[in-house]
Amino acid sequence: MKFLFLGDVVGRAGRRAVADRLPGLIDQHKFDFVVINGENASHGRGITETHYEALRAAGADVVTLGDHAFDQREIMTAIERHDTLLRPINFAPGAPGRGSAFVVGRNGHQVLVINLLGRVFMPPMDDPFRAVEAAVAACPLGEQADAIIVDFHAEATSEMQAMGHFLDGRVTLVVGTHTHIPTADERILSGGTALMSDAGMCGDYNSVIGMEPEEPLNRFLTGLPSARFTPAEGEGTLSGIAVETDPATGLAARISAFRVGGMLAPALPSF
């Protein structure tokens, strides 16, 4: 199977890029499954139910979140209605929603998607390593699952890479989100798991991680806030990673960085 993972959707620019480009890219590249991180889809912080539904309509099979999962208060009840809207699995017990989903893709592939939150430079959370190990053990690759995709929403690339090695040979893809900057380290580990430290963002890169530069710059220069951060609204880039699996194992056979539109140099899979 072939699937696409897209990094954090940031504001209107990110949503517009997904809506305008993703349906055609799915047809062009014959993607069987699409996961999108919607962490910053609504005004740059969290996601509303309407914006979740728009990402789904554009072609997302699953939408993942992160540390801003509940910044839009309405989602705390809406998330209970949607099995394909995930918050990190290692949130404290009792948090609304779910952290993993077992979903049938376009061509009948059975895919387990797991959303995790890192702990380095992040708010206190339960151990992501133990949480993901339990989820993978309950639905092993090559038995129940044809592919397992792990979105590790984390700040530190060291923690992201450690998670890749921890899960190597047991999942198809470990991909980082949160920093909004696409890394150039996509590769297949020795056990067959694809790893990319950060997928980047879907948004306007003529910005400071998706925000208009004026207020971030002001805070760096003065140390004081003077206004809210405002998402930049220029042409957005879709950023992420494309993976083709080995049908015999569900592990990664081929990978490619994925960038379309906006300011960044394009990158498209050849498979």
Segment 240-264, tens digit of pLDDT: 999 999 999 999 999 999 999 999 9
Instruction: Give the per-residue pLDDT at 60.
Output: 98
Beta strands in the chain (DSSP E): 2-6, 8-9, 33-37, 62-64, 85-86, 100-104, 110-117, 147-153, 173-177, 187-188, 194-196, 201-202, 238-245, 252-260
Q: What is the pLDDT of residue 236?
A: 98
Determine, yes or no, domain membership for 267: no
Per the structure block, which two tokens stand in for 20? 């305008």
> In terms of Cα–Cα distance, which of 83, 118, 99, 246 is closest to 172?
246
Query: What is the mean predicted confidence (pLDDT) over 156-179?
Result: 98
Q: What is the helix (H) or strand (E) element at residue 54, kind and residue range?
A: helix 49-58
Residue 268 forms part of a structural domain: no
**DSSP state string for 218-232:** HHHHHSS--S---B-
Count of domains observed in the chain: 1
Active site amino acids: 68
Helix (H, G, I), strand (E, B) or coil at 8: strand
Q: What is the DSSP letter of 260?
A: E
User: Would you state the pLDDT for residue 258?
Assistant: 98
CATH for 81: 3.60.21.10
Other beta carbons within 10 Å of 227: 10
- Contact (Cβ atoms closer than 8 angstroms) between residue 89 and residue 115: yes
Amino acid type, 60: A
Q: Is residue 265 part of a domain?
A: no
Expressed as residue numbers, the domain containing 41 is 2-260
Is position 18 within any domain? yes
Residue 119 lies in a domain: yes
| Confidence band, pLDDT 50/70/90 cuts, at residue 144 | very high
The arithmetic mean of pLDDT across residues 18-39, rounded, is: 98
In a domain, 266, yes or no: no
CA separation for the pair 215, 230 (Å, rounded)? 8
**217-222 mean pLDDT:** 97
End-to-end CA gap in the chain = 11
What's the one-letter identity of residue 62?
Answer: V
**Residue 37, domain member (yes or no):** yes
Give the model's pLDDT for residue 149.
98
119: pLDDT confidence band, cut at 50, 70 and 90? very high
Summary mean pLDDT of the chain? 97
How would residue 186 be classed by pLDDT, with cut points 50, 70 and 90? Answer: very high
pTM above 0.95, yes or no: yes
Query: Residue 188 and residue 255: Cα distance in Å, rounded?
Result: 8
Whether 130 maps to a domain, the answer reads: yes
